[in-house]
Amino acid sequence: MPRLIYIMGPSGCGKDSLMAEARLRLPAEAPVVFAHRYITRPADAGGENHVALNRAEFQLRRTRGLFALHWDSHGFSYGIGREIDIWMEAGLSVVVNGSRAALPSALGAYPALLPVLVEVTEEVLRERLNARGRENAAEMEKRLARARMAVTETPALVRFDNSGPLADRGQVLASLILEIALDGTDS
């Protein structure tokens, strides 16, 4: 049965890099697709490959029901398009970059989703935030404080330690994704 695999974690924990690495390590025939996000952030802002929308475009899509999931965070709006429903109906598991705060609404919409919480120590998180250079000192402290927010606990929650080398952690995530995608198939 196709699943929605909901990757989440604090800013700077390495979700984008980890997901990109896992994507590279999945076999081409794996019944898995990675959804892009629609974000009210410039396309050249760095980080993930996303579809940049201005606020009016985002609001139009939201009011017309074109997002399967949407939320606001760090002054931006984020959406996952309804195309994920078509992909799952076609037998594909879908990996999305989600939000910890939006997990309850995502579970409401997709009760069978697999939540994966990417975690690193505060020391590693501070180093990564500092290295990416997107935030000033005050913004970095806000992100570190937000990193401590509690996550909705569910029996299916997978806690994923992303403290090790990217290649190793990407392979472990790819293996997890493949296991979930192949669960219940004839492959």
Inside any domain, residue 51: yes
Is pLDDT of 51 > 80? yes
The token pair at 96 is 């999305």
Counting the structural domains of the chain, the total is: 1
The pLDDT of residue 31: 97
Output the pLDDT for position 143. Answer: 81
Could you tell me the end-to-end alpha-carbon distance of the chain, in angstroms, rounded to an integer? 12
186 pLDDT band, cuts 50/70/90, is very low
Higher pLDDT, 45 or 16: 16
Residue 187 lies in a domain: no
Structural domain harbouring 100? 4-182
Average pLDDT rounded to a whole number, residues 117-142: 85
Residue 91 lies in a domain: yes
Q: How much is the mean pLDDT over the chain?
A: 91
Rounded Cα gap, residues 112 and 79, in angstroms: 19
CATH number, domain containing residue 19:
3.40.50.300
The predicted model scores a pTM of: 0.89
Q: Which of the four pLDDT bands, split at 50, 70 and 90, describes residue 111? A: very high
Taking CB atoms within 8 Å and a gap of at least 24, the contacts of 14-17 are 14/118, 14/120, 14/128, 14/162, 14/166, 14/169, 15/97, 15/118, 15/162, 16/47, 16/48, 16/97, 17/166
For residue range 57-92, list pLDDT tens digits in order: 999 999 999 999 999 988 899 999 999 999 999 999
pLDDT band at residue 187 under the 50/70/90 scheme: very low
Q: What's the pLDDT score for residue 75?
A: 87
Q: Please provide the DSSP assignment of the chain as one string.
A: ---EEEEE--TTSSHHHHHHHHHHHS-TTSSEEE--EEESS-TTSSSS--EE--HHHHHHHHHTT-EEEEEEETTEEEEEETHHHHHHHTT-EEEEE--STTHHHHHHH-TT-EEEEEE--HHHHHHHHHHH--S-HHHHHHHHHHHT------TT-EEEE--S-HHHHHHHHHHHHHHHHHTTS--
89 part of a folded domain: yes
Q: What is the mean pLDDT of residues 108-116?
A: 96
For the segment 109-131, the average pLDDT, to the nearest whole number, is 91
Structure-token pair, residue 8: 């989440």
pLDDT of residue 91: 97
In a domain, 25, yes or no: yes
Percent of the chain with pLDDT over 70: 96
pLDDT of residue 47: 64
